[in-house]
Amino acid sequence: MGVKVDFSYANFVAIYPQFATLTQPQVLQGALPVAELYCRNDGSGPVSSADTQTTLLNLMVAHVCQLTYGANGQAPAGIVGRVSNAGEGSVSVAAEFPMTPNNAWFMQTPFGAAFWQATAAYRTMRYIPGPRRTFNPWPNQ
């Protein structure tokens, strides 16, 4: 039903140059296994297009990289959520996190938010009917 794709570090860095400072082991052995927990890449998921699967996997790897390592060689941000209030004197920042428990983790980065939106069609219920039951297989007897 689904499709399995090979992850390419070179293509990933070309698409997301802000992660070019990360080493190949950081991405392939650190972020990729975590990303595959959220974006199934074993051929049994609901995504049937290789291009779509590659895009989703790259988005999830970028999300994990941003949360774990940060971008452009900088440490990951310590604040989570949308900045709702900021001050200047004595420096004050307030952040709100008005998300549902389901999407809160994804909304921490633009990559996670894009992944969440792109996978909306795959988070719906799929009805698979069972076998048809016959209660009276011999109606004339």
* Structure confidence at residue 109 (pLDDT): 87
Neighbours of 9 (CB within 10 A): 17
Is residue 75 classed as helix, strand or coil in its secondary structure? coil
Q: Say if residue 98's pLDDT is above 70.
A: no
* 1 within domain boundaries: no
Full residue range of the structural domain in which residue 56 is found? 9-123
* 102 within domain boundaries: yes
* 44 within domain boundaries: yes
* Rg of the chain taking only CA atoms, in angstroms: 21
* Structure confidence at residue 124 (pLDDT): 84
pTM attached to this predicted model: 0.76
Strand-pair partners of 85: 94
pLDDT tens per residue, range 26-78: 999 999 999 999 999 999 889 999 999 999 999 999 999 999 998 887 777 66
